[in-house]
Structure 1
Amino acid sequence: MSDWRRTVPTSGSVDRRGLLKIAGGSLAALGLTAAGCGSGSGSGDGTVTIRYAWWGSDDRAKRINETIALFEKKYPKIKVKTDFQPYLDFWKKFNTQASGGNPPDVFQNAIGFLRKYDAKNVLLDLNAQVKAGHLSMDGFRAGLETFGEVDGKLLGVPVGSNSMALVIDEKVFRKAGVSPKPGWTWDDFDAALAKIRDTTGRAGDSGGYGVMYLYDLYLRQHGKAFFTTDALGFTEADLKEWWTKGYAGVKSGLYSDPKKVAQVRPKSALAAEIAGCEFTWDNFTVRYTSEGKSEYGLAPIPTTDGKKTGQYLGSLMLSGSKRTKHPKEVAQFIDFMVHDPEVAKIMGYDRGVPATVAQNEAFQPTDQVGKDIAAYEKQLVDTGVLEPITPHPAGADVAESAFLRLAEELALGTRSVDDAVKQFFTESKTAIGF
């Protein structure tokens, strides 16, 4: 979702607030041109200008600008103005632009925002551009070509894929004598956390009880889901059980002390050595190598029955504005960014494993972290555990934010479990409207 993403949206136990800060970037430092007024423009010689906006880090911005240079070389009559922001700032600005009828022509998007902005009449249905031959939806990996479809409309095109995983400190797990394997259960996971606590003096996990996307997998393992197309897919009793167990884990030392987690931000609790593992999106693994001093690896998601993980491939996407004056050029831009092999070589796994076969084959990681990510996703595809993604209704982004905030408050003891559950449902009903 996940950024992320996590949406990024959207990974919780790798502290989302910390990730958002890390993902921030200085526009001025890169000499980028902020988005101007109007949705695209033209000139007397037939050259058109489209505006492209995304969220992410300075490094992502540098990579994206390299890909834009390639695009403008291939399409000299299309110029691209760029704008990037940290995650939260991006959506604040985008919401203001969309409300004023002036969104960027093309922009980075995530599953949690498709229905929200489709309902606001903001997103361009790209199906017409596919039919016109300006955008190809062929050659995508693992069914990703349907990821951005909502009610028959093509509202986003994936640029990469990721899936939830458990990132572990391999030295800590070895010391504790824990070897996660596909099919291990939640009971096995809880026992592993206890071993880590008892043998290393470190909490086992950084706080998975606050990760919306992890709870979604847990629900899916039980035949439910976090969302339906227009509501929440679970009950207050379900959430009370999840958060009661999480609160007990904090008190027993299985989960990190949330005060300590807050103190080390924006560094992750895992890299700061106050947790032995944490749940996040697989392509975030590079974060730990740069932040920490240990060895980090990817472990399977625990299961209820030893088989069903509930996992799916998530993805960042590119979407177009319904108000753009240049839908053809927007489609050509998206097509280039998801199919051109040179783009993959520049972007690497910055936005996940490349979504198309051609780009995935063009970029073969040489670093161990990249190899681990590739192997992890290949294993998910090969073993057939992947399922369709849970629908995200309009307002899902508000529900995710509330889930993270309230989970932290109950862990800190500033809210009871009952109060946190009640407040979450109150806020979610208001946001989603069910």
Structure 2
Amino acid sequence: MHPATSPTAGPPAEPHHRTPVPRRRFLRGVLATAVAVPLMFGAAACGDDSAGDDGQVKLSVFWWGGEARAKLTEDALALYTKKHPNVTFEKTWQANQGYFDKLATLTAGGNPPDLFQIDDNYLAEYAGRSTVLDLKSYQDSGKLDVSKFPKSLLEYGVVDGKLAGVASGENTQGLVYNKTLLSKNGLPEPTTGQSWEEHIAWAEQVAKKAKVPGTQDPSADYKAFWVWLRQQGKDLYAGKDLGFTAEDVTKWFTLWKGARDRGATPTPDVIHEGNASDVTKQLVVTGKAATSWVWVNQMPDLKKNTKDELGVVAYPGDPSAQWARASMYWSVFKGSKHRDTAVDVINFLANDPEAVALLGTDRGLPSNMDLRATVSQTVTDPAMKQSIQVETELAQKFGQSPQVPIKGHSKVKSELVKAAENVQYQRATPEQAAEQFLAACRSAIA
């Protein structure tokens, strides 16, 4: 994914930081952090906002992204200072790589940011360690206005009944397809609502007529697996446990083994290429498959990598299994001495018309639906217009959001890739790979 629009990616180089941080390991992971945070900062969480003798507040803010995101964010924060002259910011940003190691080190080492960006890989983990402030009381008092947010987008920031993060933008899953290829070969376009079996049959038809595999094999893609599970009445997680069984995984792997056997997907080596998160390697733009399974907000960056016209629809099956996913969140450190101000900054970034216009669609579609409509009218990039249109249409079909992923989610995602590729390369049967995957998942979330 491109850093300017991606919830996970960033540029290769890491800019300077506001303070040098000793290079240490992840303090052997979250255990040291879990111990350090409550002991060092628990008392501070009970105090009110405090300013200096001159009434000035300096708020530290930390986020990941590229230079484009940095410029937009800095402009929005400067606008806040213009409207609130007593508040200034210590701004730190870096590439996604190493961001969460740095955040954990800062938090455990006594130098946490007041306000920071986080994603759904880590939100539940930080909330579980009481590192982030519960924003529910601010919501209830009206100091944090989320009344214009889609319900499922707001709920996707709730962990154990606490509002742990506020979505800085919305995204959802999208099946991107090569319209030019289909038109050239007189083939129909995929449509929202087609079943998984219909999608595979369509992909087989594309492969036979266009001589290009109809679809990337998404058996290693947790986004596709998650949507498919929800359509079966299951989920990726249930409380602190997994929401699926080995039998579910076996069915999923078997579905795509059948698709490969029919020639609807590429060969394992090409599938492996497409499993890379780099947008330039998605098979729909390299010409090695007619479709790729991505996030809707990747459309502009995909378009930059192909001359062909692209289309996007929901993942197969009932679209109500999809939801308004937070592309990323803003969270406040629980021990911040300036947490009231930090919350007000979140409220400003979400609801101030000028700030939202400045930020545009960099972090996904604006969470405030009224302002999203305004911003969408100013977008000139055809691919982004397409993204907004599709996501706006899907928003009418979104179902209830799932719970925020639990600790170990990143490992679960990587283990799915490993298990799926074991089946693709015939190193394991679907049943064997499913059992191995389940065991690895249980270890990851323990």
Task: Return the TM-score normalized by structure 2.
Answer: 0.83
Q: Deviations over 1:242-270 (max 9, x none)?
A: 12333444455422334345568642222
Aligned mates of 1:394, 1:329 — CA distance in 2 = 29
Unaligned runs of 5+ in 1: 10-19
Q: Return the match for 1:363 from 375, 390, 400.
A: 375
Aligned mates of 2:106, 2:124 — CA distance in 1 = 17
Distance 1:36 1:330, change over 3 A: farther
Contact 1:255 1:275 in 2 (8 A): yes
- Partner of residue 426, structure 1: 439
Contact 2:5 2:361 in 1 (8 A): no
- The alpha-carbon deviation at position 330 of structure 1 amounts to 0.7
- The alpha-carbon deviation at position 422 of structure 1 amounts to 2.7
Distance 1:296 1:133, change over 3 A: same
Of structures 1 and 2, the larger Rg is shown by 2
Q: Return the match for 1:81 from 83, 86, 90.
A: 90
- Partner of residue 157, structure 2: 148
Aligned pairs for 1:84-233 within 5 A = 84-131=93-140, 134-174=143-183, 175=185, 177-233=187-243
Paired residue secondary structure (1:275): coil
Paired residue secondary structure (2:304): helix
Q: Deviations over 1:290-338 (max 9, x none)?
A: 12221111123211xxx55411110121111112121011111111111
Aligned mates of 1:101, 1:399 — CA distance in 2 = 30
Distance 1:3 1:160, change over 3 A: farther
- Partner of residue 337, structure 1: 349
Aligned pairs for 1:384-395 within 5 A = 384-395=397-408
- The alpha-carbon deviation at position 414 of structure 1 amounts to 5.0
Aligned mates of 2:354, 2:223 — CA distance in 1 = 32
Aligned mates of 1:189, 1:35 — CA distance in 2 = 52
Aligned mates of 1:153, 1:293 — CA distance in 2 = 46
Matched, 1:407 2:420: yes
Contact 1:209 1:407 in 2 (8 A): yes
Aligned mates of 1:61, 1:219 — CA distance in 2 = 37
Aligned mates of 1:391, 1:177 — CA distance in 2 = 39
Contact 2:167 2:330 in 1 (8 A): yes
- The alpha-carbon deviation at position 41 of structure 1 amounts to 9.6
Matched, 1:56 2:65: yes
- Partner of residue 13, structure 1: none
Aligned mates of 1:87, 1:293 — CA distance in 2 = 29
- The alpha-carbon deviation at position 157 of structure 1 amounts to 0.8
- The alpha-carbon deviation at position 423 of structure 1 amounts to 2.8
Contact 2:272 2:421 in 1 (8 A): no
Contact 2:6 2:363 in 1 (8 A): no
Aligned length: 413
Aligned mates of 1:202, 1:411 — CA distance in 2 = 18
RMSD, aligned CA: 3.0
Q: Return the match for 2:18 from 27, 34, 39.
A: 34
Q: Name the amino acid aligned to 1:273.
A: G
Matched, 1:354 2:369: no
Q: Name the amino acid aligned to 2:343.
A: A
- The alpha-carbon deviation at position 356 of structure 1 amounts to 0.5
Aligned mates of 1:85, 1:422 — CA distance in 2 = 38
Distance 1:135 1:295, change over 3 A: same
- Partner of residue 252, structure 2: 242
Q: Name the amino acid aligned to 1:333.
A: V
Q: Deviations over 1:91-127 (max 9, x none)?
A: 2222333333433211112233222111112111123
Aligned mates of 1:272, 1:89 — CA distance in 2 = 28
- Partner of residue 375, structure 1: 389
Contact 1:209 1:242 in 2 (8 A): yes
Unaligned runs of 5+ in 2: 22-39, 42-48
Matched, 1:72 2:81: yes
- The alpha-carbon deviation at position 195 of structure 1 amounts to 1.7
- The alpha-carbon deviation at position 228 of structure 1 amounts to 0.9
Distance 1:284 1:407, change over 3 A: same
Aligned mates of 1:407, 1:240 — CA distance in 2 = 10
Distance 1:249 1:4, change over 3 A: farther
Q: Deviations over 1:150-201 (max 9, x none)?
A: 2331111112111111111111222251222232111210111112211222
- The alpha-carbon deviation at position 404 of structure 1 amounts to 2.8
Aligned mates of 1:134, 1:196 — CA distance in 2 = 53
Contact 1:7 1:110 in 2 (8 A): no
Aligned mates of 1:5, 1:425 — CA distance in 2 = 35
Q: Deviations over 1:366-414 (max 9, x none)?
A: 32222222221222233x3433324422322321232234323443455
Contact 1:344 1:354 in 2 (8 A): yes
Distance 1:24 1:410, change over 3 A: farther
- The alpha-carbon deviation at position 215 of structure 1 amounts to 0.9
The more displaced of 408-417 and 150-159 is 408-417
- The alpha-carbon deviation at position 239 of structure 1 amounts to 0.5
Q: Name the amino acid aligned to 2:325.
A: G
Aligned mates of 1:130, 1:301 — CA distance in 2 = 33
Q: Name the amino acid aligned to 2:177.
A: I
- The alpha-carbon deviation at position 64 of structure 1 amounts to 1.5
The more displaced of 68-77 and 218-227 is 68-77
Distance 1:93 1:408, change over 3 A: farther
